[in-house]
């Protein structure tokens, strides 16, 4: 099983600031198989980034993904109030598909 470790657990920032979220895999993942989701309470998770760096349809260009191998990053360039949520990385390189434990971005 590929373990995904996200850091930090919680990121306390203000609107307008830049957020940098990390996701480290226990073994190398093909870049095409790393995705990021945003999750707000009471809602379904929303796909932000797939293939490590491709924004999903309708996702603001404030969100960007990068990385390869075992180290991946989600960057939110200028936080808007609606960006405060939990973010998960996810791999579909190998079964079982796994998620990181999440990073909470809070005000």
Partner 1 sequence: QVQLVQSGAEVKKPGASVKVSCKASGYSFTRYYIHWVRQAPGHGLEWMGRINPNTGGINYAQNFQGRVTMTRDTSISTAYMELSSLRPDDTGVYFCARESYSGNCFDYWGQGNRVTVSS
Q: Applying CB under 8 A, which residues contact partner 1?
A: 32-33, 35, 37, 39, 43-47, 50-51, 56, 86, 88, 90, 92, 95-102
Least Å distance, CB 29 to partner 1, is 10
Instruction: Report the distance separating Cα 20 and Cα 8, nearest Å.
Output: 9
Instruction: Report the distance separating Cα 84 and Cα 69, nearest Å.
Output: 28
Coil/strand/helix, residue 99: strand
With beta carbons less than 8 A apart as the criterion, state whether 85 and 62 touch: no
Of 15 and 26, nearer to partner 1 (C-beta) is 26
Q: Encoding tokens for residue 76? A: 């939110």
Instruction: Report the distance separating Cα 4 and Cα 21, nearest Å.
Output: 13
Least Å distance, CB 17 to partner 1, is 24
Of 68 and 78, nearer to partner 1 (C-beta) is 68
Least Å distance, CB 16 to partner 1, is 28
Of 60 and 98, nearer to partner 1 (C-beta) is 98
């Amino acid at each position: 099983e590929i373990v995904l470790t996200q850091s930090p657990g919680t990121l306390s920032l203000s609107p307008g600031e830049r957020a940098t979220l990390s996701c480290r895999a226990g073994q190398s993942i093909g870049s095409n198989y790393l995705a990021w989701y945003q999750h707000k309470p009471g809602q379904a998770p929303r796909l932000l980034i797939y293939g490590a760096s491709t924004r999903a349809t309708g996702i603001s260009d404030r969100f960007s993904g990068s990385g390869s191998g075992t180290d991946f990053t989600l960057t939110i360039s200028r936080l808007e109030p609606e960006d405060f949520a939990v973010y998960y990385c996810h791999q579909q390189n190998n079964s079982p598909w796994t998620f990181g434990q999440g990073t909470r971005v809070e005000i």
